[in-house]
Amino acid sequence: MSHKMYLYPKWVRGWHVLNAVLFLVLIVTGLSMQYSGKDSIFIIGFANAVKWHNFAAIVLTINYIVFVTGNLTTRNGRYYRISKQNFWSDLLIQLKYYSMGMFKGEKHPFPVTEQSKFNPLQKFTYVLAMYLALPLLIISGFGLLFPEITIKRFAGVSGLILTDILHITMGFLLSVFMVIHIYTCTLGTKPWSLFKGIITGYHESDEL
């Protein structure tokens, strides 16, 4: 029997769609900056890429503040709370399901409920992406945008180079996260179930 749960309030859906579009803009303009030369244009060329990258980054930062504030002030924040109890064993159960169980037609080990909309692996990666990698990406991005506030040298190496390495590493890791995230979002009851949820707000499940 199928039933519906309202799990994605309007502000989460608004934040998410803007975040996803901005991420795509940042990836394209980031690559464009990295691979455009003085006389060669990759995708949109260096100068245009810088302009659009900076603009998208500022909107992304404001949108990130909306995300954190929303999770601090609404019930959505509770889905991100990680408990130490059974942390590693639950993570292992979910990994086993993704690597073997689901191919044998086993049921989801942690079905979606009103109390817990993320499985342990989703929760862990969402917390890492949203509360570690994204803040580091944003802070290092501002360090590059305003080089005068960036420390000049650290352990004998240019502070700007270290900030740049941190920025591209986080950008790369979050791009990998996004690809895996989109793939795991196809693993709901039906391949499109979770995508429908983040658009309509309702998660449909056949599992309870």
106 Cα distance to chain centroid: 28
Would you say 71 and 63 are in contact if contact means Cβ atoms under 8 Å apart? Answer: no
Binding mask 31-70 for ligand HEM (x = CB under 6 A): ----------------------------------------
* Distance of closest approach, residue 149 Cβ to ligand HEM, in angstroms: 25
Helix or strand holding residue 153 (H, E): strand 153-154
Among 46, 90, 194, 204, binds ligand HEM (CB under 6 A): 194
Helix, strand or coil, per DSSP, at residue 203:
strand
Helix, strand or coil, per DSSP, at residue 114:
coil
* Token code pair at residue 49: 């890429």
* Distance of closest approach, residue 95 Cβ to ligand HEM, in angstroms: 16
* Position 130 contacts ligand HEM (CB under 6 A): yes
Would you say 116 and 5 are in contact if contact means Cβ atoms under 8 Å apart? Answer: no
Binding mask 157-176 for ligand HEM (x = CB under 6 A): -----------------x--
**Could you tell me whether strands 153-154 and 157-158 are parallel, antiparallel, or unpaired per DSSP bridges?**
antiparallel
* Position 110 contacts ligand HEM (CB under 6 A): no
Residue type, 95: L
Interface with ligand HEM (CB under 6 A): 8, 12, 16, 19-20, 23, 76, 79, 117-118, 122, 126, 129-130, 174, 178, 181-182, 185, 194-195, 197-198
